[in-house]
Amino acid sequence: MTFERLLERLAGRLRAMIRNGEVTERGLARRIGVSQPHLHNVLAGARAMTPRLADRILAGLGMSVVDLLTGEEKGGAAAPDQQVPEPPRATSW
């Protein structure tokens, strides 16, 4: 996993949260201490997301870098499927 890929995932997750109404650009910008136009330009790809800005966004959303990883990337399997035990086998005598 590259750092650039993590930044892309963060931007994608944030765009989805904005689309879904979970957060607004203006509200998050205020929370993390950047201007709304700057945040908008970063999300639009017109400005680069710096590591410092990424840290501020993650903190503002209450997330960590680990939240951007898949289960496999975290070094383990994704949430295990609930296994249903097999029914007992009938024995023929």
pLDDT, residue 82, reads: 45
The stretch 43-61 carries a mean pLDDT of: 96
Intra-chain end-to-end CA distance of the chain, in Å: 57
* HSE (side-chain half, CA atoms, 13 Å) at 28: 26
The stretch 42-49 carries a mean pLDDT of: 95
Domain architecture of the chain: domains with CATH: 3-64 (1.10.260)
Q: pLDDT tens digits, residue range 53-69?
A: 999 999 999 999 999 99
For tokens 């963060």, the residue is 10
Say what the pTM is: 0.75
Distance CA 57, CA 63 (A): 8
